[in-house]
Amino acid sequence: MNGTYLRATANGYDAILKCLACGNTYLHQERIEAFERNADASIGLHITIEGGRAIVDNGLAGNPSSRRSGFKVYFSCESCAAGPVLSFSQHKGNTEITFD
């Protein structure tokens, strides 16, 4: 992630995500997925929150971390058809952030 995906706010401490396709800042959170597991475990806890309900299972398909835990926020854009996804993934002692 670099600064081109963020618009700084007036206070200088926060930022607003921008659509990757059109640059609009009106992104709506549509779905959240959280993945939790011990390192290298083949199953774990997966929670999807969308449309006023939560679905819980043990599948790890789509986990942004190849070995540990992570979560994703799926957005829709008010101005275009893009559906950017913000991901946090644990990699050893680091937390990696991607927005694509």
* Span from 42-50, 53-61, 71-79, 91-99 in contact with Zn ion (CB under 5 A): 71-79
* Span from 35-43, 50-58, 68-76, 79-87 in contact with Zn ion (CB under 5 A): 79-87
Question: 4 phi and psi, to 5 degrees?
Answer: -70, -15
Q: Which residue of 55, 80, 95, 97 would you call a contact of Zn ion, by CB under 5 A?
A: 80
Count of residues of this chain found to bind Zn ion when the rule CB under 5 A is applied? 8
User: What are the structure tokens assigned to 71, written together?
Assistant: 């979560």
- CA 75/CA 96 separation, integer angstroms: 19
Torsion of CA 94, 40, 35, 13, to 10 degrees: 0
Binding residues (CB under 5 A) for Zn ion: these are: 19, 21-22, 24, 77, 79-80, 82
